[in-house]
Amino acid sequence: MNKVLAEIIAGVIPHKMTRNRWRGILRFGLINAIRLKTQIKKDHTSPKHYLSVCAIAKNEGPYFKEWIEWHLKQGVDKFYVYDNESTDDTKSILDPYIKSGIVEYKYWPGHRRQLAAYDDCLEHNRFASRWIAFIDLDEFIVPLKDASIPEFLTRFESFAAVEINWLVYGSGGRKTKTPGTMMERFRFHSAPNHYLNRHVKSIVNPRRVFAMIGCHEAAKISGYIADSHAQPVKKNFRNREPQQDIIRINHYAVRSYEEFIEKQARGRASGKQKTVKSEYFDQYDLNDIEDKSPLPSYTCVSE
């Protein structure tokens, strides 16, 4: 079923969470959904990977090494990277990770291709990974109460997905791009209860979700979706207070102003906007609190 028809049908459902779930199912296709449920019942393959990350990126080459090394340190063992027509050094930076088997790389051209990339990732890796996190290159999953992300996920074995809140980091007043990692350079973030931090990203059990609804939520097959406190989600994320005490996603939405302008020029892999309006910088440049947590021990210079 095409996206327009799915939106029309789902639009008549008054309850937002139910509406969003059916939006995802209808976009996935009812016949495909029936076939998938049958396939899942028959396939008892043990996943090769416990935790994978899926991301689509466009000209994010300078940021890949820090992003991959951080998540490796947090327990990720596989990355599915979709390259949306990058013209920088993305492929060469990823080559060592590709050759080692850590990264599975796909060139993924076209406009508005984020959801298509997520669909492809689920289609080809549904039985290969126990969990798949769908995040962007400016997002870093940070476990606070557990030694790793997999340790955190052990409490969610009965859930279809877990939604983790943002903590938005601002530019810290930096106008130009300077050497160093994002975690080194940007040490100021929003107040935890800021409304932008209500946004979530999902780590899903790929055998219990049909598809991603958008970049934030998953359409579940069965079971419940949890918040980071392991409680079943009963409200849409926009109607919930953010949780950042157990785990969070550091969201480096703008970086320095120079880097933000560069991002404007190249467009977005999601295709939602060809360029990001300058008002976005003002909205996301939040520097209320200094992050005094220890820096990572590795060095990944952003050039």
What tens digit of pLDDT does each residue of 248-293 get?
A: 999 999 999 999 998 887 766 555 554 456 889 999 999 999 999 8
Contact 177, 258 (CB under 8 A): yes
Contact 195, 131 (CB under 8 A): no
In the chain, the percentage of residues whose pLDDT exceeds 70 is 88
Give the model's pLDDT for residue 214: 85
Least confident of 41-50, 132-141, 293-302: 293-302
Phi-psi region of 145 (alpha: psi -120 to 50; beta: other; left: phi over 0): alpha
Give the model's pLDDT for residue 16: 67
**Which residues have C-beta within 8 Å of that of residue 262, sequence separation ≥ 6?**
177
pLDDT digits (tens, 9 = 90+) for 179-190: 999 999 999 999
- Bridge partners for 250 per DSSP: 140, 167
Outline where the chain has alpha helix (H).
3-10, 16-28, 30-42, 61-73, 90-100, 114-125, 149-153, 182-185, 257-266, 278-284
Q: Find, among 108, 115, 134, the residue nearest to 51 by Cα.
A: 134
Give the model's pLDDT for residue 12: 67
Q: Is residue 193's pLDDT more than 80?
A: yes
pLDDT digits (tens, 9 = 90+) for 11-23: 666 666 776 777 7
Here the tokens at position 272 are: 């939602």
Helices and strands in the chain: count of H runs, count of E runs: 10, 13
Scanning the structure block, which residue is given the tokens 């979530």? 200
Q: Find, among 191, 136, 202, 137, the residue nearest to 168 by Cα.
A: 191
Q: What is the secondary structure of 90-137 as a DSSP string?
A: HHHHHHHHHHHTSEEEEE--SSS-HHHHHHHHHHHHTTTEEEEEE--T
Name the pairing type of β-strands 225-226 and 161-169. parallel
Residue 155 DSSP label: G
**For residues 46 and 122, what is the distance between their CA atoms, to the nearest angstrom?**
16
The C-alpha angle with vertex 239 and arms to 140 and 138, in degrees rounded to 5, equals: 15
pLDDT digits (tens, 9 = 90+) for 57-113: 999 999 999 999 999 999 999 999 999 999 998 999 999 999 999 999 999 999 889
Q: Is residue 302's pLDDT more than 90?
A: no
Contact 148, 75 (CB under 8 A): yes
DSSP three-state, residue 296: coil
Give the model's pLDDT for residue 301: 44
Secondary structure element (H or E) that encloses residue 221, with its range: none
Give the model's pLDDT for residue 41: 79
Entry pTM: 0.89
Give the model's pLDDT for residue 216: 94
**For residues 270 and 172, what is the distance between their CA atoms, to the nearest angstrom?**
26
pLDDT digits (tens, 9 = 90+) for 132-171: 999 999 999 999 999 999 999 999 999 999 999 999 999 9
Here the tokens at position 149 are: 């992300």
Secondary structure element (H or E) that encloses residue 223, with its range: none
